[in-house]
């Protein structure tokens, strides 16, 4: 079992460009969560998805950010027209059951740097 796979590990974008972050959940997991971690800060929830459905996007900024988890392929977090404040580590997690644990298995994260 390869675990939760995220790519790229590091991503550098100039202001105004688009960033696409990919996450493949663990085998057998159908729930995917995206969290953002600013430098020296905690994990902030962004969005919760199941295959082809967004279940909870209450943590997503209203503009420039979108997420999807298609029937085939990885979950994608897309940030359009990036700004310096988007620089952070973005972690994806997956789970097999919605509300009974076990806890998340996190991917290694994508560290986005906006220059």
List the interface residues with other proteins, window 17-46 (CB under 8 A): 31, 33, 35, 41-45
Instruction: Give Cβ neighbours of residue 8 (< 8 Å, ≥ 6 apart).
Output: 21, 22, 110
The answer to whether residue 51 forms part of the interface with other proteins (CB under 8 A) is no
15 vs 44, which CB is nearer to other proteins? 44
Which of the ranges 16-24, 68-76, 78-86, 98-106 carries the binding residues for other proteins, by CB under 8 A?
98-106
- Based on the shown chain and the rule CB under 8 A, indicate whether residue 56 belongs to the binding site for other proteins: yes
- Is 108 a binding residue for other proteins by CB under 8 A? The answer is yes
DSSP-assigned beta bridge partners for residue 35? 45, 91
Give 17 or 59: the residue with its C-beta nearer to other proteins: 59
Helix, strand, or coil here: 100?
coil
The DSSP secondary-structure symbol of 27 reads T
CB 1, CB 27: distance < 8 Å: yes
Q: Which helix (H) or strand (E) holds 82?
A: none
Which residues of the chain form contacts with other proteins (CB under 8 A)? 31, 33, 35, 41-45, 48, 55-56, 58-59, 91, 98-109
């Amino acid at each position: 079992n390869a675990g939760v796979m995220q790519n790229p590990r590091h991503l550098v974008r100039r202001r105004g460009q688009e960033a696409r972050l990919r996450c493949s959940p663990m085998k057998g997991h159908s729930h995917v969560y995206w969290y953002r971690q600013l430098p020296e800060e905690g994990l902030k929830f962004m969005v919760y998805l199941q295959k082809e459905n967004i279940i909870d996007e209450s943590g997503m900024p209203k503009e420039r950010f979108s997420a999807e988890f298609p029937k085939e392929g990885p979950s994608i977090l897309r940030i359009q027209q990036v700004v310096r404040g988007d620089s952070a580590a973005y972690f994806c997690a997956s789970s097999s059951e919605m509300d009974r644990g076990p806890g998340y298995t996190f991917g290694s994260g994508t560290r986005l740097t906006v220059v």
